[in-house]
Amino acid sequence: MNTLQVSSPAFENGRPIPAIYTREGLDLSPPLKWSPPPEGTQSVAVICEDVDTPKKPWVHWILYNLPAGNMCLKEGISHSEEPNGFLQGMNDYGEPGYGGPNPPHGKQHRYLFKVLALDSTLNLPGGITREELYHSIQGHLLAQGQLMGKFQR
């Protein structure tokens, strides 16, 4: 499995996520960048999950069908924005698009921004769930990488 290097100009791996990208701030999606995906990549998917919730990862963001040549996401992608034909799934707040960190007061949680290079585009409508994303990428994953940020209220 190939590895993608994922970064953000907004925060470093393992460091705090600025409040502007959380429910306490403006709830903007953070800018992301990643290394070129391997040959054969047809699309890219991004998922952000809180891995410190009690029962399952809490989904904060799902994007999919980004063109393979797209190696970044700008700050503040709106819930309805679908430039270049990419689609957004449902977060666990019950909304499409990005929903920022909002852990319980006094608790620090870790948030993984995963970038997945796929050998196909996903023939799915907008608004998919985490389970639908992971089911649909089985056998199509060429490379992946992640950026981890932390947030505490």
Instruction: Encode pLDDT of 45-58 as tens digits.
Output: 999 999 999 888 99
d(CA 90, CA 139): 23
**What's the number of domains the chain is made of?**
1
| Phi/psi at 89 (5° precision) | -95, -175
Instruction: Encode pLDDT of 84-142 as tens digits.
Output: 678 999 999 999 999 999 999 999 999 999 999 999 999 999 899 999 999 999 999 99
29 secondary structure, DSSP code: P
> What is the domain-level CATH number for residue 9?
3.90.280.10
State which residues form the domain around 19.
Answer: 2-152
First-to-last C-alpha distance (Å) of the chain: 36
Say what the pLDDT of residue 83 is.
57
Instruction: Encode pLDDT of 65-98 as tens digits.
Output: 999 999 999 999 977 656 567 899 999 999 999 9
Contact 5, 35 (CB under 8 A): yes
Contact 46, 62 (CB under 8 A): yes
90 secondary structure, DSSP code: B
pLDDT confidence band for 2 (50 / 70 / 90): very high
Non-local CB neighbours of 50 within 8 Å, separated by 6+ positions: 57, 58, 60, 101, 103, 109, 110, 111
Q: Tokens 């707040």 correspond to what residue? A: 93
